[in-house]
Amino acid sequence: MTYLRTAAIALLVFAISASAFAGDLQDSIAKAAQQQQQEERAPTRHTNKPLVYTGAALFVGGMAVGLFSFINNKNGSFSEFGEANAVNKPLGAAGLATAFVGGTMMFLGSHRANTKAPSVTIGARQLKVVKQLSW
């Protein structure tokens, strides 16, 4: 019986003390809601559309050339000895390299540019670079 009474009193004390911290919780909820509204009003991510479209064209063209060069053999429809040497390896490698360049261009075009440049200070016997990182 004493355990039950002690547990009930402890529960009551914790409930009363939790209501004392509710003001902080309400303030933090209001602050989070305000920040979310500001983020919604902020402009969306800027993409460099010409770079993305050019990269997509290079990617598709490079993959098409690369795959065709590696898959298309000159031995006819049946496999036979020496089939690995019948494909155009340099053209296939060039096509895959072009696809890689196109993918890199799409990646760089779809990410917004870092507008906050680092601060560089040059003085007597010192060079100071300051950059703020946040995530």
**Mean pLDDT along residues 64-76:** 82
Q: Would you state the structure tokens that stand for residue 40, as one six-digit string?
A: 């919604």
Answer positive or negative: Cα dihedral of 68, 70, 75, 78. negative
pLDDT (0 to 100) of residue 130: 79
> How far apart are the C-alpha atoms of 71 and 63, rounded to whole Å?
12
CB 60 within 8 A of CB 102: yes
What pTM was estimated for this model as a whole?
Answer: 0.50
Tens digits of residue pLDDT in 14-41: 666 666 555 566 677 777 777 777 766 6
Average pLDDT over the chain, rounded to whole?
Answer: 77
